[in-house]
Chains A and B, each alone.
Chain A
Amino acid sequence: MTRIVIDPITRIEGHLRIEAVVEGNRIIDAVSAGTVFRGIEKIVENRDPRDVWAFVQRICGVCTHIHALASIRAVEDALDIRIPKNANYIRNIMTATQFVQDHVIHFYHLHGFDWIDVVSALKADPVQTSALARSISNWPNSSDGYFRDVQTKVKTLVESGQLGIFANAYWGHPAYRLPPEANLMGVAHYIEALSWQKEVAKIHTIFGGKNPHPNYLVGGMASTLNMDDNSVINMERLNLVKTKIDEAQVFVDQVLIPDIFAIASFYKQDLYGGGGGNYLAYGGIPIGDIREPESFLFPSGVVLDRDLSKVYDIDLKDPKQIQEFVSHSWYRYDDPKAGLHPWQGKTEASYDGPRPPYTNVDEKKGYSWIKAPRWQGHAMEVGPLARFVIAYARGNKEIKGLVDDALQRLDLPVTALFSTLGRTLARALESKYLVNQLAGFYSDLVANIKAGDSQTFNGEKWEPEKWPAQAQGVGFAEAPRGALGHWVKINNGKVSDYQAVVPTTWNASPRDDSGQKGPYESSLLDTPIVNEDQPLEVLRTIHSFDPCLACATHLLTPTGEEILKVRIL
């Protein structure tokens, strides 16, 4: 039995540590620990609620806009502020843009090297690579000369001895299953996606002024619309949005989706990493208003134990449903075993872990800066797979169609979704689902402007004098990484309490008082490990969740079993 430690987990957002216990080439226990804390929930206390979005937006620069959105929704919920239609369309465009951009970055730049072996790409035949690329897609960059150039580029890099970001990785690991040609195609698309992602982000820049961290506004959007003025958002700006939407559509259809199917077809026997099997989604992207769940593009709900026949409803305001526990986290509650609903939540740091530098965390105490959120006591997985599982179980036609079609193409059963590969597949299908919607949102916006409505902001309750002395609200959204909720309490015009329960808090949560593992931890169980020195499979599964540790940060689970040797990786 070996205990392996991977810290830092790279190609994620933030700082994550994984310790896994391996026996007979299988993981039998795992611990995940978030190792950074910033205390933003404390910092926003006593601030103007209209400002808070900017603070909490800085929870994460990869998710970049979604915390701001959840925050303004929380304040709008507390103060009962209704936003104009245009503001909702713009928010939807920005949200869908973020999903597509983020999913592509995740697949190629964070997750890609778990599937694609760069060094193997050197052995590829560019002519065959070209043939492969053209057989799966109409994407124009697919000539043999093009792939030869890419290969030369990688070759000179490798031969220079300075491999840069490619240095010292698990190249040649037996768990890589792609032929050299597919690897070369993957590397080429890695570079192309790097150039493309900055283009689609321009949609954020137009409406939010910048990306990362575009600007938001309680009560609507600050980006004024006027088709008859050249200083604000006019047809030229909207045309740029439309152009980027069209480009995104092409990229997803001709690069991401064909790549996913090509890669998945080589990995479809690797169906480990399913984990606990409980899925949760708050629902989101409202076509109408956030108060109209029936208009959501993603339905909300809970699926327990992979049982698609039953979907439970979820209520974010019910103090019994969503609770956070801290018995294995570095925080203090009055009752250490209690679970607190976010409105009652506390963020009081209380570190009882090992003093750095350390080699292992002590799982009997707290071991993570992440709290353990639970839905009615259950650890829940959130993210693209959770959204798709719930939409599938709810019978959402479009999503069901996408999933069934994909499974049929890969010749896999529905249960194959509950795996590392399923998570990655769901994320790609979600990109497809949303990029299809983007053009629709854009049309909605243009049609509404055409109908004479150019309002983007509702200032009726802008001034604090119009607010009740006490108010509380919850703002939620589906973030690229899963269900996101912000809970706010406002007291005499100032924030008195603030809690964010973010997707990675759900996924990376440590154990709770009853010993129930968080989704990362349970998903690692039973994962085969070919080479303990190179735990590629661990990275693959952890990356399939798209961890975002600045958002959440802490996980680790040990058992009391004997550990023969500790190996730091």
Chain B
Amino acid sequence: MSESESYYQLARRRGVTRRDFLKFCALTGAMLGLDATEFPKIVQALESKPRLPVIYLNLQECTCCTESLLRSAHPLISDLIFNMISLDYMEPLQAAAGKQAEEVRLKTMKEYPGAYLLIVEGSATLGDGGVYCTIGGKSSTELLKEVADGAAAVIAYGSCATNACVQGAYPNPTQAVPIRKVVKNKPVIDVPGCPPIAEVITGTIVHYLTYGKIPELTNLGRPKAFYQHRVHDNCVRRAFFDAGQFVETFDDAGAKQGWCLYKIGCKGPTTYNACAITEWNDGVSYPIKSGHPCIGCSENNYFDNTPFYTRLASIPNNAIGKDADTIGAGILGLTGIAVAAHAGMTAVVKNHEKNRKESNHDKNRN
């Protein structure tokens, strides 16, 4: 694509009808609570303004999501940011700094109310009035609210934004919380993973861009296109699981034949992600294929559902502190002891009763 298109042209080129486009604009307006008379403004904005304005906020994070975004092979990140969207604010990439950077953000918020897409990487932090993450001297959580207010939709990108990831793990010293806990008045699309696969996030953005609406979500609020299947159900090692062939320790004979990593802690069976299908870095591999158990990085609380190298059932339940088998077998053992004790006690009591009765009989006879 050599010349820049308007958002409307792009949508048309990608097969969206004008009717659908107008519907999208109306929906966007409705989401914003705008009066119907305002709709034409949105239509006009998206028709005449070239590319979808995007504000990308980095809150409490490690920037792995940004890095992952850069790894996108289809579309290429350069195609995405120069031809499809207008990435107006994104600290790790944008040329402007300091006040000039803030100006760009404010300009986009002012010029495209209800029309820009907000992508958030990182968790919000509620601890101590927001001092654990400030940007431009402002609490990042306040900044998030401010920018989200005028957004058409919010993509919570990465596990920090969807489940507070590592900083949200026990004891969560900074009170890190997912974006959903702070942004309540906008549709939030959760795209979890630490980080998510590059093509998953760019796929989600382009979906929004192309169809003009947020993608269909799973009941956990994630795009069905990427998160409706378990890693386990599409795993390249699944045949070994079904066969009952398991790696017992790393690099053992089973490992050398690519057997299933279930017994050394693989979280594939409880993890919903596209790893096994889309795979990482343009389809090269994914953790299980490369020999390491899945750590479940797209799931809530995955850092507290540890240790990682322990088969699923043996992991201590983080609410109880012990694993299911220890608790279950422990209580079963106690029950056994109780049964034996009760049986013994019964024998003693009954024997005693019998003796008493017999002595009563004797007395009666006498």
A and B touch in the complex (CB under 8 A): yes
Write the residues of chain A forming the contact surface with B, with a CB cutoff of 8 angstroms. Answer: 5-15, 17, 35-40, 42-43, 47-48, 50-51, 54-55, 58-62, 64, 105, 109-110, 113, 118, 149, 152-153, 156-157, 159-171, 191, 194-195, 197-198, 201-202, 204-213, 215, 217, 219-226, 229-233, 237, 240, 330, 349, 351, 353-360, 369, 454-457, 459, 462, 534-535, 539, 550, 568-569
Contact of A224 among B60, B291, B295 (CB under 8 A): B291
- Whether A212 pairs with B306 at a CB distance below 8 angstroms is no
Q: Does B307 contact A (CB under 8 A)?
A: yes
- Whether B291 pairs with A42 at a CB distance below 8 angstroms is no
Q: Which residues of B contact A220 (CB under 8 A)?
A: 250-251
Contact of B2 among A156, A233, A535 (CB under 8 A): A156
* 4 A-B pairs with least C-beta separation: A61-B64, A231-B258, A209-B287, A169-B95
Contact of A11 among B93, B275, B308 (CB under 8 A): B93
- Closest chain A CB from B126 CB (angstroms): 13
Q: Does B222 contact A (CB under 8 A)?
A: no
- Whether B174 pairs with A37 at a CB distance below 8 angstroms is yes
- Complex Cα–Cα for A276 and B81 (A): 39
- Complex Cα–Cα for A217 and B308 (A): 11
A59, A212, A360, A455: which has the most chain B beta carbons within 10 Å?
A212
Q: Which residues of A contact B68 (CB under 8 A)?
A: 61, 212
- Whether B258 pairs with A357 at a CB distance below 8 angstroms is no
Q: Which residue in chain B gives the minimum CB-CB distance to A539?
A: B97
Q: Which residues of B contact A168 (CB under 8 A)?
A: 95-96, 100-101, 103-104
Q: Does B303 contact A (CB under 8 A)?
A: yes
- Whether A8 pairs with B71 at a CB distance below 8 angstroms is no
Q: Which of B88-138 contact A (CB under 8 A)?
A: 88, 90-101, 103-104, 128-138
Q: A61-B195, A62-B67 are in contact. Are A6 and B280 (CB under 8 A)?
A: no
Q: Which residues of B contact A206 (CB under 8 A)?
A: 284-285, 290
Q: Among B10-18, B48-56, B147-155, B182-190, which stretch is in contact with chain A?
A: B48-56
B71, B97, B306: which has the most chain A beta carbons within 10 Å?
B97
Write 26 A-B pairs (CB below 8 A) sorted by A numbering: A8-B136, A10-B92, A10-B96, A35-B133, A40-B167, A43-B171, A43-B173, A54-B303, A62-B67, A109-B93, A160-B50, A167-B95, A198-B282, A206-B285, A209-B287, A209-B290, A211-B67, A220-B251, A222-B290, A225-B256, A226-B256, A230-B258, A359-B137, A457-B249, A534-B100, A550-B61
Q: Which residues of B contact A210 (CB under 8 A)?
A: 197, 275, 280-281, 285-287, 290
Q: A39-B173, A355-B131 are in contact. Are A224 and B70 (CB under 8 A)?
A: no
Q: Does B78 contact A (CB under 8 A)?
A: yes
- Whether B94 pairs with A165 at a CB distance below 8 angstroms is yes
Contact of A58 among B64, B134, B198 (CB under 8 A): B64
- Complex Cα–Cα for A60 and B67 (A): 10
- Whether A8 pairs with B101 at a CB distance below 8 angstroms is yes
- Complex Cα–Cα for A162 and B87 (A): 9
- Whether B67 pairs with A64 at a CB distance below 8 angstroms is yes
- Closest chain B CB from A332 CB (angstroms): 13
- Whether A356 pairs with B64 at a CB distance below 8 angstroms is no
Contact of A164 among B64, B88, B198, B256 (CB under 8 A): B88
Q: Does B72 contact A (CB under 8 A)?
A: yes
- Closest chain B CB from A80 CB (angstroms): 18
Q: A50-B308, A197-B70, A229-B258 are in contact. Are A42 and B173 (CB under 8 A)?
A: yes
Q: Which residues of A contact B142 (CB under 8 A)?
A: 356-357
- Whether B286 pairs with A209 at a CB distance below 8 angstroms is yes
A14, A161, A205: which has the most chain B beta carbons within 10 Å?
A205
- Closest chain B CB from A121 CB (angstroms): 13
Write the residues of chain B forming the contact surface with A, with a CB cutoff of 8 angstroms. Answer: 2-4, 49-51, 53, 58, 60-68, 70-73, 76-78, 81-82, 85-88, 90-101, 103-104, 128-140, 142, 165-167, 169-174, 176, 194-195, 197-198, 236-237, 249-251, 255-258, 275, 280-282, 284-293, 295, 297, 303, 306-309
- Whether A38 pairs with B174 at a CB distance below 8 angstroms is yes
Q: Which residue in chain A gives the minimum CB-CB distance to B239?
A: A231
- Whether A568 pairs with B99 at a CB distance below 8 angstroms is yes
- Whether B303 pairs with A55 at a CB distance below 8 angstroms is yes
- Complex Cα–Cα for A161 and B86 (A): 10
- Complex Cα–Cα for A36 and B136 (A): 12
Contact of A211 among B71, B104, B194 (CB under 8 A): B71
- Whether A215 pairs with B287 at a CB distance below 8 angstroms is yes
- Whether B98 pairs with A164 at a CB distance below 8 angstroms is no
Q: Which residues of A contact B98 (CB under 8 A)?
A: 5-10, 535, 568-569
- Complex Cα–Cα for A195 and B82 (A): 13
- Closest chain A CB from B234 CB (angstroms): 15
- Whether A7 pairs with B135 at a CB distance below 8 angstroms is yes
- Closest chain B CB from A569 CB (angstroms): 4
Q: Which residue in chain B gives the minimum CB-CB distance to A48?
A: B307
A40, A149, A201, A534: which has the most chain B beta carbons within 10 Å?
A201
- Complex Cα–Cα for A412 and B48 (A): 53
- Whether B4 pairs with A198 at a CB distance below 8 angstroms is no
A13, A161, A209: which has the most chain B beta carbons within 10 Å?
A209
Q: Which residues of A contact B282 (CB under 8 A)?
A: 198, 202
Q: A168-B100, A217-B250 are in contact. Are A205 and B92 (CB under 8 A)?
A: no
- Complex Cα–Cα for A225 and B251 (A): 8
- Complex Cα–Cα for A191 and B70 (A): 11
- Closest chain A CB from B309 CB (angstroms): 6
Q: A212-B195, A358-B137 are in contact. Are A459 and B251 (CB under 8 A)?
A: yes
- Closest chain B CB from A425 CB (angstroms): 22
Q: Which residues of B contact A153 (CB under 8 A)?
A: 2, 82
Contact of B92 among A17, A110, A156 (CB under 8 A): A110
Q: Which residues of B contact A149 (CB under 8 A)?
A: 2
Contact of B250 among A15, A43, A457 (CB under 8 A): A457
Q: A215-B287, A232-B291 are in contact. Are A569 and B100 (CB under 8 A)?
A: yes
- Whether B93 pairs with A162 at a CB distance below 8 angstroms is no
- Complex Cα–Cα for A103 and B81 (A): 22
Q: A35-B133, A61-B63, A456-B251 are in contact. Are A231 and B236 (CB under 8 A)?
A: yes
- Whether B174 pairs with A11 at a CB distance below 8 angstroms is no
- Complex Cα–Cα for A105 and B128 (A): 35
- Complex Cα–Cα for A217 and B287 (A): 12
- Whether A13 pairs with B194 at a CB distance below 8 angstroms is no
Contact of B131 among A356, A459, A569 (CB under 8 A): A356
- Closest chain B CB from A132 CB (angstroms): 22
Q: Which residues of A contact B197 (CB under 8 A)?
A: 210
Q: Which residues of B contact A36 (CB under 8 A)?
A: 60, 132-134, 140
- Complex Cα–Cα for A303 and B78 (A): 41
